[in-house]
Amino acid sequence: MLISELAELTGVSARALRHYEDRGLLAPARNSSGYRDYSECDVTRVAQIRTMISAGLGTSTIQKYLDCARTGEHGTSLEMCPDLRAELDALARRLDARQAELRETRRRLSRIASVG
């Protein structure tokens, strides 16, 4: 299928699909005219990429662990390995730290808003 067809099927823009290819996340075949030729497997792959992005993973992390993604009747999951677990734990720690910063900023904002 052409990039426009994959974009329509997955709800992902053609620009994003080209970005995924540039980042090594998709590797479409090329037809005799040089156009990208996507398969049904790429539909699943795009769903896996989108799931991982929505979970906060960057494309460089996704590239390392995309082969750990599994798609079944309950959606996409990741088969854990020690390196992936460490990456996910580090991301969770960064999110926790950012949440703490935001709570503190919110507290300060409330404090200055109530002065006067």
List the domain range (segments joined by +) for residue 87: 80-116
CATH number, domain containing residue 14: 1.10.1660.10
Same domain, 34 and 61: yes
Tally the domains of the chain.
2
Same domain, 22 and 45: yes
- Is pLDDT at 115 greater than 80 in this prediction? no
**In this structure, what is the dihedral angle of CA atoms 53, 54, 56, 57, given to the nearest 10 degrees?**
-20
Same domain, 62 and 87: no
For 11, left (φ over 0), alpha (ψ -120 to 50), or beta? left
pTM of the full predicted structure? 0.78
pLDDT tens column, 75-89: 888 888 888 889 899
Same domain, 66 and 98: no
- Is pLDDT at 101 greater than 90 in this prediction? yes
